[in-house]
Amino acid sequence: MARINILREFCKGCNLCVHACPLKLISIGIEGTIYGTTIPVIDDGSERCTGCKLCAIACPDAAIEVYK
């Protein structure tokens, strides 16, 4: 089982991770960033995460950590 952690202090809210997740475990959130965008959230079903790291690879700001 893997775990995803979004580092809010680095996230600009580009939401590339939302589109990169093959299992759709990350969605667009409602909490705003200092850039006027929204921070993605990990869905409650995140225990299904396989640790593929596609979300972290897609993130241009290195704001996602994936733990296996």
What is the bridge-based pairing of β-strands 64-67 and 26-27? unpaired
* Mean pLDDT, rounded, for 8-14: 90
Q: Which domains does the chain have, with CATH numbers?
A: 3-67 (3.30.70.20)
In this prediction, residue 46 carries a pLDDT of: 64
Q: Are 14 and 55 in contact (CB under 8 A)?
A: no
Amino acid 49 reads C
pLDDT (tens digit per residue) in 13-62:
999 999 999 999 999 999 887 778 899 999 876 678 999 999 999 999 99
What's the confidence (pLDDT) of residue 1?
Answer: 80
